């Protein structure tokens, strides 16, 4: 399954483009722009599994760095600061990874 099976290619392009500058990534705005906030919990889990490149059931810090590339191959890598902020927002139990729930 491709990301464009779940989200609009146009929305993905706009969202990734909006955060193309280093240190500009805002995960709340990005997920809203890409259309995830309007999706069902089932569709959000499908997106999660696309981003979970190693199929571990979790998205770890090393996978988060490349989250924009998970939406489109020409997305940039997140900086260490951006990656840590995204991890902190999603890691509810402090184990260093984000689960599907």
Q: Which residues fall in the annotated binding site for Ca(2+)? A: 52, 54, 56, 58, 63, 91, 93, 95, 97
Q: How far apart are CA 53 and CA 38, in angstroms?
A: 24
Around Cβ 70, how many Cβ atoms within 10 Å?
18
Alpha-helical segments (H) within the chain: 9-18, 27-33, 41-51, 61-64, 67-71, 80-90
Closest CA to 100 of 29, 39, 51, 32: 51
Which residues are part of a known binding site? Answer: 52, 54, 56, 58, 63, 91, 93, 95, 97
Q: What angle do CA 32, 91, 55 make, to 5 degrees?
A: 85
């Amino acid at each position: 399954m491709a990301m464009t099976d779940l989200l609009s290619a146009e929305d993905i392009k706009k969202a990734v483009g909006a955060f193309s500058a280093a240190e500009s990534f805002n995960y709340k705005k990005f997920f809203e722009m890409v259309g995830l906030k309007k999706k069902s919990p089932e569709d959000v889990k499908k997106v999660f599994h696309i981003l979970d490149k190693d199929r571990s059931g979790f998205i770890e810090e090393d996978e988060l760095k490349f989250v924009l590339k998970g939406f489109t191959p020409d997305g940039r890598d997140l900086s260490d600061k951006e990656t840590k902020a995204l991890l902190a927002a999603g890691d509810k139990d402090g184990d260093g990874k984000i689960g599907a729930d």
